[in-house]
Chains A and B, each alone.
Chain A
Amino acid sequence: AQKVTQAQTEISVVEKEDVTLDCVYETRDTTYYLFWYKQPPSGELVFLIRRNSFDEQNEISGRYSWNFQKSTSSFNFTITASQVVDSAVYFCALSAVLPFSGTYKYIFGTGTRLKVLA
């Protein structure tokens, strides 16, 4: 069965520090998709990125970057020069095919709470 592990329950950093959030996944699917979502204090989950299993290129978007390593089943997320507005819970998620439908559900890790202190 698919599984996502986010071992870091909570991380605190001082503003402008870099921080990496770890995500390790398990799946037997040969094709799969990985995601990161941000949950600010308001509660609504916001999509950040999707990565498919065939694309191991790292991606950078502003201060955000993602490191996908298939060999270690990891999809880590780094925030460079963190800001107070980055404070949130971050979830990593993995796709799983729904039986008899060909569509998907997504398995979430338990989340990492990031606190950026001014």
Chain B
Amino acid sequence: SQTIHQWPATLVQPVGSPLSLECTVEGTSNPNLYWYRQAAGRGLQLLFYSIGIDQISSEVPQNLSASRPQDRQFILSSKKLLLSDSGFYLCAWSGWGPDGYTFGSGTRLTVV
């Protein structure tokens, strides 16, 4: 069966520090991968999606970047965090049909 792992679960980082959040999927190949952010009390905003290795599409301009160095690995990064980067980050995967997402457990990022 397919599983999705996301880590770390929580992170407190100072302003200006770098960020790396990792997400991996098991039990499937060539998944579509997604990064979402949920700000406190807000909905889910799609940040990046990837339909294949090294194929990254950004939905909104921001201080973050994403990479997919391997088929089932998706990384969210920043060189210098801003206070506004705080939020709950969710990784998700989907197949190629309209079956919806399977989400990871999320990373709660607090930038101080």
Q: Which residues of A are at the interface with B, using a C-beta cutoff of 8 A?
A: 33, 35, 37, 42-45, 47, 50, 52, 91, 93, 95, 98, 101-111
Contacts and interface: CB of A to CB of B under 8 A. Distances in A.
A104 B88 CA distance: 22
A47 B42 CA distance: 19
Contact of B96 (A91, A103, A106, A108): A103
A108 B98 contact: no
B100 A103 contact: no
A47 B102 contact: yes
B100 A108 contact: no
B106 A44 contact: yes
B32 A109 contact: no
Contacts, number: 56
A105 B43 contact: no
29 contacts: A33-B98, A33-B100, A37-B103, A43-B88, A44-B104, A44-B105, A44-B106, A45-B90, A45-B101, A45-B103, A47-B101, A50-B99, A52-B98, A91-B43, A91-B44, A95-B98, A98-B51, A98-B57, A101-B51, A103-B32, A103-B94, A103-B96, A104-B32, A104-B94, A104-B97, A105-B46, A108-B44, A110-B42, A110-B43
B49 A108 contact: no
Contacts of A44: 103-106
Interface string B65-101: 0000000000000000000000010101010111111
B51 A47 contact: no
Contacts of A93: 100
Contacts of A105: 34, 46, 49
